[in-house]
Amino acid sequence: MEKIMINGGKRLKGIVRISGAKNAAVAIIPAVILSDGVCRIENVPNIQDVIIMAEILREMGARVTRINRTAIEIDPKGIKEPVAAYELVRHMRASSYLMGALLGKFHHAQVALPGGCDFGVRPIDQHLKSFSILGASHTIEEGMIKINADKLVGKRIYLDVVSVGATVNAMLASVKAEGKTTIENAAKEPHIVDLANFLNSMGADVRGAGTDVIKINGVKTLRGSTYSIIPDQIEAGTFMAAVAGAGGDVTLQNVIPKHLEPITAKLREMGVTIEEYDDSVRVISNQRLKRCNVKTRPHPGFPTDMQPQIAAILAIADGTSMVNESVWDNRFKYVDELRRMGADISVSDKTAVVVGIDCLKGAPVKATDLRAGAAMIIAGLEADGTTTIEDIKHIERGYEDVVNKFASIGADIRKIYDRDPAAKTS
Ligand code: EPZ
């Protein structure tokens, strides 16, 4: 099986370019379904989740053409059947966005119940509540969710919890509804703003994205457009944390510093030097990190998608830190893997107590989910000795060319093909 192998202890140095934002791409690509014209999407990350989303659209009848490494062209006019392929859809959480896009365009959607990372329950009650308020009804049969509406009429939607997915789906279902929709208690992540900007580039009327109240005036048609996706603030944060933990001096290109503010603030609190420029940040780490406390919150709070990565560097900080996960029920599965490397972390309910030690020791570990896998890479980079990481498909779902990017800034990291130990005995 394929693994990542890291010989730790190397300082990181040089320049790395950040790719387009995964969580913006997996919302914008299904949103193209709403268009009556051809869309060209640029700065698209070349990752598994995007490949699967593009394949789902192809299976439904859209023409999806890769223009170059980071641009795709989508003509949705061939989509006649608003039914998403079960096998492709069930493994990807973002497939839930097909519900809103297909409902918004065809007033009908048939989508497999979404899969996704395994860190606690991932309900869609707020998505379904939003559809119902707009006039749709749904049934769940054989793992498929079927949603229908005679018509969609704009209304006031108040989300019980701040939910990125429910905000996205409420936007997609209402941009062509009759009249005005207000989404209150909306998520404010950069990818929500990016989706709103993309919808408006097609002729939608979406205002207030990035605040907790989004106002949408329904329009009859949406035209094709060319749009460039924002850089991935979580990929950028992951590299920033890696430099902080391994030490070094690295410049990240193609970032929006404002999107990184909660991460930058936290790393500065830990003693990392961060210089901000127009579309890049320089990260310098030459001393042992200071301990600190972290509470994950919806944007603009510290992002939950950076929680495993920050814990991996607090594991070698000077002192004891508390990491509180307020968004997900169980996002500490990676702690067992860090413990294999000598980390001194105990978890109680939704808080991890991280007692900083001098140095982690390389070991065989697993990527239990996307961001946990990123945390294992960071731990391997800062550890003494060799770390091998299994189940790297989780990592490659969301990080483009991750091994080469780290190798290009001095990491001793490579992919290896390791016969399954069980296979050796056969
Ligand atoms: C998105 O997931 C991201 N995924 C996640 O990133 C991210 O962790 C999460 O937002 C929070 O920022 C994508 O964008 C593809 P939520 P999503 O709905 O939309 C509860 C990554 O690493 N909730 O904002 O599924 C839910 O249980 C991934 O890139 C309901 O109760 O997250 C959670 O506690 C992992 N009912 C909270 O809201 C609902 O109907 C936030 O979930 C929906 C959500």
On whether residue 390 sits in a domain, the answer given is yes
Residue where a domain terminates, one of 178, 196, 218: 218
Ligand 1: nearest atom to the Cα of 168 = 19
CB 182 within 8 A of CB 214: yes
Is 117 tagged catalytic?
A: yes
19 ligand 1 Cβ < 6 A:
no
109 plus 239 within the same structural domain? no
286 plus 384 within the same structural domain? yes
pLDDT at 424: 45
pTM value is: 0.96
11 plus 46 within the same structural domain? no
On whether residue 425 sits in a domain, the answer given is no
Q: What is the CATH number of the domain that holds 77?
A: 3.65.10.10
Distance 23 CA to ligand 1 centre (A): 11
268 plus 168 within the same structural domain? no
pLDDT at 426: 41
- Tokens at 297, concatenated: 């919150």
Which residue's CA lies nearest to atom 4 of ligand 1?
23
146 plus 87 within the same structural domain? yes
6 plus 105 within the same structural domain? no
On whether residue 426 sits in a domain, the answer given is no
Distance of alpha carbon 89 from the chain centroid: 17
> What phi and psi, each to the nearest 5 degrees, are found at residue 286?
-125, 5
On whether residue 226 sits in a domain, the answer given is no
Q: List, for the chain, all residue ranges whose pLDDT scores fall below the cut of 70.
A: 115-121, 420-426
On whether residue 397 sits in a domain, the answer given is yes
207 plus 322 within the same structural domain? no
pLDDT digits over 217-259, tens only?
999 999 999 999 999 999 999 999 999 999 999 999 999 999 9
96 plus 181 within the same structural domain? yes
Which residue's CA lies nearest to atom 13 of ligand 1?
23
166 plus 242 within the same structural domain? no
Which residue's CA lies nearest to atom 26 of ligand 1?
122
Instruction: Give the containing element (helix H, strand E) for 164.
Output: helix 164-174
Domain that residue 293 falls in = 2-19+231-417
On whether residue 235 sits in a domain, the answer given is yes
The dihedral through the CA atoms of 212, 217, 220, 226 has a sign that is negative
pLDDT at 82: 86
Which residue's CA lies nearest to atom 27 of ligand 1?
122
User: How far is it, in rounded angstroms, from Cα 285 to Cα 317?
Assistant: 12
Residue labelled with tokens 């839930």: 96
Residue where a domain terminates, one of 186, 218, 250: 218
Residue where a domain terminates, one of 218, 249, 273: 218
Within 8 A by CB and 6+ apart from 341, the residues are 315, 360, 361, 362, 363, 365, 379, 383, 387
Domain count, the chain: 2
pLDDT at 419: 75
On whether residue 142 sits in a domain, the answer given is yes
pLDDT at 410: 98
pLDDT at 116: 55
User: How does 142-156 read in b/e, with b if 16+ C-beta sit within 10 Å?
Assistant: eebbebbbeebbbbe
Question: Omega into 298 within 30° of 0, i.e. cis?
Answer: no
pLDDT digits over 162-182, tens only?
999 999 999 999 999 999 999
How many residues make up the chain in this entry? 426
86 plus 203 within the same structural domain? yes
186 ligand 1 Cβ < 6 A:
no
On whether residue 422 sits in a domain, the answer given is no
Distance 163 CA to ligand 1 centre (A): 6
32 plus 7 within the same structural domain? no
156 plus 242 within the same structural domain? no
Q: Smallest Cα–Cα separation from 368: which of 340, 399, 394?
A: 394
